[in-house]
Amino acid sequence: MNISKNNGISAILVISSVLLLSSISLSQDSYGQIGGNDTNQTNQTGGQNNTEQTQQQLEQANQQLTQANQTQQQVSNETQQQLTQANQTQQQVSNETQQQLEQANQQLAQANQTQQQVSNETQQQLEQANQQLAQANQTQQQVSNQTQQPDAEMIEKLLNFTNTAILALNEDDISVAEDNLGQIQNTLINASGKQVVIVPAPAVSTSDEDTD
């Protein structure tokens, strides 16, 4: 850009010099016509030389101006290319940044989705564990209640055996009383769920009691 400006200034100076020399040449031609034929011929020769010099200087000035315009156009084209490349680079960087941002957003969305899925699964597992615990507590409570509450049917049997044994003893029916006492004993053994060894008691005779 500085070269083109310098060439333009030089061309302007050359053109100004050419115009100045042309005006001087015209003045000399006019003066020569007034002075006479000899002087006129001399002035014509000098004016012709000045015209040729002026023409050469004008051509040189035009060449310099053309070169300056070419240089300026070349610099302008290079500047335009650099500007275009800079814009392309900026657009490319912008596109890459946009792609990276979109990828980051996608990864963040996937992470959030995975976290939500894990949270839902954990919540389901926790609910299942609570349900299983509630069922276990309910079953334990039922078993505890069944253990604490005696069997009504067994109680009724024991009462019947006891009443029958009492009536038999009141009527001195020892055999019936012993059978009912044995039934009471067997019922209690079955209810305990344990193995029990029965040791028979010694027999009591009525004769011995009467002797005493």
Question: Which sequence spans correspond to the domains of the chain?
Answer: 2-88, 150-196
Q: Considering only CA atoms, which of 79, 59, 56 is closest in space to residue 4?
A: 79
Read off the pLDDT band of 100 (50, 70, 90): very high
Each residue of 118-165: pLDDT tens digit? 989 889 888 988 888 888 888 888 766 666 556 788 889 899 999 999
Question: Distance (Å, rounded) from C-alpha 63 to C-alpha 153?
Answer: 135
Residue with tokens 């020399």: 21
pLDDT at 212 over 50: no
In angstroms, the Cα distances linking 70 to 57, 75, 83 are 20, 8, 19
Contact 42, 33 (CB under 8 A): no
Q: pLDDT for 183-207, tens place per residue?
A: 998 888 888 777 766 666 554 444 4
Q: What's the rounded Cα separation, in Å, for the pair 7 and 187?
A: 134
Give pLDDT, residue 48. 76
Q: How far apart are the first and last CA of the chain?
A: 155
Residue 65, token pair as written in the block: 């101006």
Indicate whether 68 pLDDT > 80. yes
pTM: 0.31
Give the model confidence (pLDDT) of 168-183 as tens digits. 999 999 999 999 999 9
